[in-house]
Amino acid sequence: MAKRAPLGVWLYGGRVAELTSGRPGQVVCRYSGEALERWPLNIPLLSCSLLLSARPRRDAGVFFRGMLPEGQHLQAMATEANVAAYDTFGLLARFGRDVAGAAVIAGTSAGERPGGVVPYSDEALDREVAGLEDRPLAIYDDSELSIAGLQNKMLLVADGTTWARPVGGHPSTHILKVEDRRYPGMVTMEASCLALARAVGLTSVEAEVRRLGGADCIIVSRYDRKVGPEGKATRLHQEDACQALGRDPEAVHGQGKYQHAGGPALAEIARLLDLYATDPIEELKHLVSAVTFNVCTGNADAHGKNVSFLYEKPGQLRLAPLYDTVPTALWPRLRTRAAMTINGQAELGGVMRADVVAEARRWPLAPDVAQAVATTTAEGVLSALDATAVPAQLADFVRHRVTAFLA
């Protein structure tokens, strides 16, 4: 294979790393002299799994592959880029300008091609969504974007009073996800759970449900983008728990994001917060609250790709706002086993407040603190039901679950 030109990685206003690859599937990351002079060694700059060091990391592929989708979406991108689906380097060379987090990956300067947007009319957006099966992620020749996951989705830019398609790596601001027809009502339930999470202070993500392309869709704001008063979007750096812990979500037949298949566990997430959070105790309390919320809303799919960290500044992180808050327990064919065990409990419906307290004690967080946080969160969710318009099925489930949890 002909030698390929290196890729640059831009972050925090500078070129922080160079990526090379000697063979398809390999990604070698070497931090730049600029990064090594600007920040202290051994801090998580790009990732907790790629601490700042003068030594090249030849196992960087797991972190960077975490920026790419899975399944048919990955294959469609590989076809567009004319590379193999396992060629992470080749895919990022083509689509790395707008990925999750703040990193911009490209062969030229990050600002050399600022990109732009193509506005959608209502009719055009409707057609675009209807055609996602044939054009996954709505990728065109001028698209330089990627987003992780399996679900039918696309990236959008809020452009005044309309939606637009990002071009040439322009930062997207929203994610549109199409409802899986096997599970009617799912996007409405997800949006309702996000509303409950906002009510108890666990997310900043805003959601709306629209009928597009003959299907119900949910459009959510990206928590890793900050939109200024003039509509300019700024990227915020983040990574998911699989990336932070160097876990391959595609391992074990695509189950590697779940704890039972080697994916992240709550204690490992807590350890990263203890090591790198500005205020570890506050972040561990936030983790207790997030776990409690997922138990009370029946979300058994809070796996390593659905739990993330936001970087407040280089080397310092916190838990990201909740997202993908699907109450899977409402669909008999979906998961009821917790993606991450709680005090050894695998069945989410059997998790009680005492289990959350016992789990938090291992992180370690004082039992009285964990008990108070779990209680406040559960009671807050219950109160939020009265002030938030949620489907009756979800409201009944949550009331029953919170009552059992607190008992």
Contact of 153 with 177, CB cutoff 8 Å? yes
Nearest to 390 by CA among 271, 259, 296, 274: 296
CB 235 within 8 A of CB 225: yes
Q: Which residues contact 112 (CB under 8 A, 6 or more apart)?
A: 106
Place of tokens 């992620």: 137
301 in catalytic set: yes
Q: Degrees (nearest 5) of the Cα angle 324, 368, 244? A: 35
Beta strands in 48-96 (DSSP E): 50-51
The C-alpha atoms of residue 60 and residue 30 are separated, in whole angstroms, by 9
Which is catalytic among the residues 216, 240, 301, 355?
Answer: 301
- What is the Cβ-side half-sphere exposure of residue 372, based on CA atoms within 13 angstroms? 8
Instruction: Give the 3-state secondary structure of residue 390.
Output: coil
Q: Which residues are catalytic?
A: 301
